[in-house]
Homo-oligomer: A and B are copies of this chain.
Amino acid sequence: MIYLNGSWIADDEAKISVLDLSVLRGFGIFDYLRTYGKKPFMLESHIDRFFNSAHLMGMEPVLTKAEIADIVLQGIEKSAFAQTNIKFIQTGGVSPDGFTPSEKQSFFVYFYEFHDFPKEQYTQGTAHRTSRVMRQLPEAKTINYAASITEVVKAQKLGFEDILHTDNVGNIYEGTRCNFYGIKNDTLITANKGILEGITRKVIFEIAKELGIEIDFRFVTTAELPELDEAFTSNSSHEIVPTVRIDSTSIGDGVVGPLTIRFMEEFRKRTLN
């Protein structure tokens, strides 16, 4: 079910002009959240981030925060899934010069059923491949994944789950749709700039504080991968997923580590409220 510019429509009937700047120029922002049961998780934070993305991209949000929240709650009811994925998108609209964002931008919300991910991701962990492709304006959640998709498809053919955006001196920033964390000597290491600030990441920081785990805000580097005890990624759909290999380097013992399990358990608790 899709809410598009004021109407509720079936998935296969929701259409947009091919001249919309999303199609011609990949110009748009979005945010994504899921429900636990019928309850959206961290809805306000996701809407706040969407507004921040709009600001960074020089876009004026089409709807107010309250209006978006209302549509999200309505859509959860209407779509009636056991659990729901929710993606809201604002695109540049149809522009006279095919480049400058339009005064009349499009907004839609896509509601689709949430299915659990394969258990093995959580019990056995996943492998990531570093890539020199870097995100542009990384603090904004734009729809631009063109280069990332090409890199991920290549990586997946080699048995990796995702890529890690890594600069030319070996600083690891984040995955294509997730934040990245290393653990060394019981300290959590994670980037604090040049990344999208995940909503799950905020929750992880709360958990770290509660558990008394120190956070070292810096890039994990490729050079130190052999010294890491554990690593994981986080996002709003997969929650926390252990990373047990990066390129050809096993992380720690190559199995899911105890602190990662702790974070996964604590995170899940918070989704039950």
Q: Evaluate contact between B19 and A20: CB separation under 8 angstroms.
A: no
Query: Interface extent on A, as a size class?
Result: 35 or more
Residue A73 CB within 8 A of the other chain: no
- Does A133 contact B136, Cβ atoms closer than 8 Å? yes
Q: Is A145 an interface residue (CB 8 A)?
A: yes
Alpha-carbon distance between A177 and B99 when the two chains are bound, in angstroms: 10
Our pick among B26, B89, B110 for the contact of A146 (Cβ within 8 Å) is B26
Residues of B within 8 A of A257 (CB): none
Task: Say how many copies of this protein the assembly contains.
Answer: 2
Across the interface, do B99 and A25 meet the contact criterion of CB distance under 8 Å? no
Chain B residue numbers with a CB within 8 Å of A26 are: 22, 26-28, 142-146
**Those of A189-211 within 8 Å (CB) of chain B:** none
Q: How far is the CA of A145 from the CA of B18 in the complex (A)?
A: 16
Contact between B18 and A110 (Cβ–Cβ < 8 Å)? yes
- The distance in angstroms between the C-alpha atoms of A22 and B22, with both chains bound, is 7
Q: Does more than half of chain A's interface fall in helix, strand or loop, or is it mixed?
A: mixed
Check if A23 sits within 8 Å of B91, measured CB to CB: yes
CA distance A225 to B4 in the complex (A): 49
Q: Which residues of chain A from 114 to 155 have any CB-CB distance to chain B below 8 Å in the complex? A: 133-134, 136-137, 142-147, 149-150, 152-154
Which chain B residue shows the least CB distance to A157? B58
How many angstroms between the C-alpha atoms of A199 and B200 in the bound complex? 45
A12 within 8 A of B: yes
Closest to A13 in B: B17
Say yes or no for A56: interface residue by CB 8 A criterion: yes
Contact in complex: B154, A146 (CB < 8 Å): no
In the assembled complex, A186 has its CB within 8 A of some CB on chain B: no
Residues in B whose Cβ lies below 8 Å from that of A143 = 23-26, 146
Chain B's closest residue to A112 (CB) is B98
A28 to chain B, nearest CB (A): 7
User: Residues of B contacting A100 with CB < 8 Å?
Assistant: 149, 153
The answer to whether the Cβ of A11 comes within 8 Å of any Cβ in the partner chain is: yes
Chain B: which residue is nearest A145 at the CB level?
B25
- A2 on the B face (CB < 8 A): yes
Cβ of A16 under 8 Å from chain B: yes
Which 9 pairs across A and B sit closest by C-beta, in order of nearness? A26-B26, A136-B147, A15-B15, A25-B145, A26-B144, A142-B146, A144-B146, A26-B143, A137-B147
15 sampled A-B residue pairs with Cβ under 8 A:
A2-B18, A18-B89, A19-B110, A22-B23, A23-B89, A23-B91, A24-B89, A25-B143, A25-B146, A26-B145, A27-B145, A28-B146, A101-B149, A142-B147, A144-B146
Having A2-B18, A4-B18, A56-B150, one finds 10 other A-B pairs with CB under 8 Å, namely A16-B18, A18-B89, A18-B108, A20-B23, A24-B87, A24-B143, A25-B143, A28-B146, A134-B134, A142-B146
